[in-house]
């Protein structure tokens, strides 16, 4: 039972009209991990999450959560999933405490200690009116409402959106706190790679509706490699390089990023006969940008014609 992935999708596909939002997505999220779901805006992350929760029907393929088909999740199973969206429904006239009391009525496993802990962590007073809360405080309340039922699986759709750095830190701390129970799983989407670097065990990258990477965080970082080459004169044009992602040229330098750097890659680069060649390790964010950015060559040197026009 515990070896079974908490989330599993097979060939999951969804169209909106003629536009493909998610294409043939197959992934598995192991129990007890923190899983980051990454991708640029509009890459299909939210659509995937809504299909996982059975809020949207797939056109093809299937998704299962906690071992049950997403289209047939019974209420008692839903109660074991915490789902945090950007537009969490809150009633402005309620106080923070009333919002908690109201929510707790729907959950048999409601844990008041967690609720109080999280709102305290975000600096929220129980008697404060919801309509007077700042954005960060609202996010804290939403998180408290999502965590207090002590969910086995936490699905957070861009929880850091619009949060200031202090509120974001509180969010990350709450996520780490949750990993105290080793059987709890967190699946979250984010654009903040520094947060991802802190909390995630695994990551998946969605790009233009297609899954482009799904691996441990460290494997992703190390599979993208930058090579800096210096030349006596103007760097020569690039040959075909296996795993080529991007190149950036300056007067005497050529910086190339590749994925899955191997002997073939090195051979192709050495054939350019640089006077110096150095491998430069990349941070997670740089690796991500190289991997998802536009392929090809870039330069900051304007040609004469561009300057003239």
Partner 1 sequence: MLDVAANCTVCVNTVTVALNITINTGSSVPIYKQITEQVRLAVATGKLVVTDQLPSVRVLAESLVVNPNTVARAYADLAREGLIETRPGRGVFIIPKRKVMSREEGRRRLEPLLNTLISEGLAMNFSPDELQDAFEKKLSQWQNEKGGKQ
In the bound state with partner 1, the residue whose beta carbon lies nearer, of 95 and 179, is 179
Q: How far is the CB of 281 from partner 1 (least distance, A)?
A: 4
In the bound state with partner 1, the residue whose beta carbon lies nearer, of 105 and 232, is 232
Query: Do 140 and 118 touch, CB atoms closer than 8 A?
Result: yes
Q: How far is the CB of 85 from partner 1 (least distance, A)?
A: 24
| Ramachandran area for residue 52 (φ above 0: left; ψ -120 to 50: alpha; else beta) | alpha
How far is 32 from 181, CA to CA, in rounded Å?
Answer: 8
In the bound state with partner 1, the residue whose beta carbon lies nearer, of 24 and 286, is 286
Q: How far is the CB of 227 from partner 1 (least distance, A)?
A: 14
Q: How far is the CB of 197 from partner 1 (least distance, A)?
A: 5
How far is 61 from 26, CA to CA, in rounded Å?
Answer: 9
In the bound state with partner 1, the residue whose beta carbon lies nearer, of 194 and 273, is 194
In the bound state with partner 1, the residue whose beta carbon lies nearer, of 98 and 173, is 173
CA 38, 41, 47, 53 dihedral sign is: positive
- Sheet strands side by side (includes 68-69): 19-29, 7-16, 60-65, 68-69
How far is 76 from 201, CA to CA, in rounded Å?
Answer: 28
Q: How far is the CB of 172 from partner 1 (least distance, A)?
A: 6
Q: How far is the CB of 34 from partner 1 (least distance, A)?
A: 6
Q: How far is the CB of 169 from partner 1 (least distance, A)?
A: 7
In the bound state with partner 1, the residue whose beta carbon lies nearer, of 9 and 170, is 170
Interface with partner 1 (CB under 8 A): 34, 165, 169, 172-173, 176-177, 179-180, 193-195, 197-201, 218, 221, 280-286
In the bound state with partner 1, the residue whose beta carbon lies nearer, of 173 and 266, is 173
CA 128, 155, 179, 206 dihedral sign is: negative
Q: How far is the CB of 278 from partner 1 (least distance, A)?
A: 11
Burial class (CB in 10 A: 0-12, 13-18, 19+), 243: middle
In the bound state with partner 1, the residue whose beta carbon lies nearer, of 152 and 195, is 195
């Amino acid at each position: 039972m515990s070896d079974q992935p908490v989330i599993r999708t097979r060939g999951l596909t969804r169209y909106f009209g003629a536009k493909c939002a998610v294409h043939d997505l197959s992934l598995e999220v192991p129990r007890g991990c923190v899983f980051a779901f990454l991708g640029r805006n509009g890459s299909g992350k939210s659509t995937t999450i809504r299909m996982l929760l059975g809020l949207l029907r797939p056109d093809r393929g299937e998704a299962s959560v906690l071992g049950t088909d997403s289209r047939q999740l019974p209420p008692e199973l839903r109660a074991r999933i915490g789902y945090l969206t950007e537009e969490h429904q809150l009633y402005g006239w309620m106080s923070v405490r009333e919002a908690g009391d109201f929510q707790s009525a729907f959950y048999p496993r409601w844990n008041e200690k967690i609720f109080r802990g999280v709102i305290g962590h975000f600096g929220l007073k129980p008697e404060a009116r919801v309509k007077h809360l700042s954005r960060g405080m609202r996010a804290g309340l939403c998180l408290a409402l999502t965590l207090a039922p002590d969910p086995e699986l936490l699905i957070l759709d861009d929880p850091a959106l619009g949060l200031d750095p202090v509120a974001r830190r509180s969010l990350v701390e709450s996520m780490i706190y949750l990993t105290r129970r080793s059987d709890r799983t967190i699946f979250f989407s984010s654009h903040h790679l520094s947060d991802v670097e802190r909390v995630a065990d695994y990551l998946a990258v969605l790009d233009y509706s297609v899954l482009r990477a799904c691996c441990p965080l460290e494997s992703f970082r190390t599979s993208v490699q930058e090579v800096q080459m210096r030349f006596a004169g103007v760097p020569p044009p690039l040959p075909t390089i296996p795993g080529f992602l991007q190149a950036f040229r300056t007067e005497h330098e050529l910086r190339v990023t590749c994925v899955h750097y191997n002997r073939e890659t090195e051979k192709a680069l050495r054939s350019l006969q640089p006077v110096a060649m150095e491998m430069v390790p990349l941070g997670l964010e740089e690796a991500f940008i190289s991997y998802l950015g536009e392929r090809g060559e870039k330069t900051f040197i304007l040609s004469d014609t561009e300057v003239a026009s």
